[in-house]
Amino acid sequence: MAGSVAFVTGAARGLGREITLALAASGHRLYLVDILADRLDATAAELRDAGHEVVARVADISSRQGCVDAVSDCVAQFGELAVLVNCAAVMRMEHFADVSEDDWNRIVAVNLSGPFFLTQAALPHLIAAEGNIVNVASSNGLMGTPYTGPYSATKAALINLTKTLAMEYVEEPIRVNAVCPGPMATEIASALVPPPTIKREKIVRYSGQRGLGDAADVAKVVAFLASDAAAGVHGAIWTADLGTSAG
């Protein structure tokens, strides 16, 4: 897949940024999407300065049209699309009973509807390129995680969507896989503000015994799954959570 075009959402910072660096190191040309214009421009400039071919687009993937337009622009810019990495996500920590309709709708729109509609738009191009999809799910989608109801629900759905796509398109020259990180030392994680009334012992149970993960390590897993070295991997859900979901 070296030299092929990789489309990455949530590319401005955190895990998304690390994924772009890992894919660039693998030789991909990059189409980067995020809503954080300044941070996205900084990531794109860093990659260009290092000699990589990059197009950055500020876009909100929570709308179907936003997804369709971004994919169309990627193909117009590069002439192809071979790898789709659905990384953008929204996470909040709240008591289940306190989740507002707006919060629920926003988290579902970004975390689940975005990957769904991006995949719909990208599939013809991915099949033509004999490419692949890597969905960034979460260990929260594999286990019960209190105070993250909407986020965990979307990640569980993304895991099953990955498997369903893998089976529906099993006869096509395309691979679909997912990576499940655990808690990581990113800006998004540090910005989480749990309600003061939560029971912290419930959080500790799914926080892992090896501390916070390194986003760069997870990005290497994503880059591997996007590469020809993972040609035999299809419909797989790879955990990269330092054992958090193992038991």
Which helix (H) or strand (E) element contains residue 70? Answer: helix 64-78
- Please state, in angstroms and as integers, the Cα–Cα distance from residue 99 to each residue in 65, 154, 156, 190, following that order: 27, 14, 18, 21
Is residue 31 annotated as a catalytic residue, yes or no?
no
Residue 104 is encoded by which pair of tokens? 């629920």
Annotated catalytic residue: which of 31, 147, 151, 206? 151
- On whether the CB atoms of residues 130 and 173 are closer than 8 A, the answer is yes
Locus of tokens 């990455």: 8
Contacts of 30 (CB under 8 A, 6+ apart): 5, 6, 8, 11, 20, 23, 24, 47, 52, 53, 54, 55
**Distance between CA atoms of residues 115 and 133, nearest Å:** 10
**Distance between CA atoms of residues 193 and 28, nearest Å:** 36
Q: Where in the sequence numbering do the catalytic residues fall?
A: 151
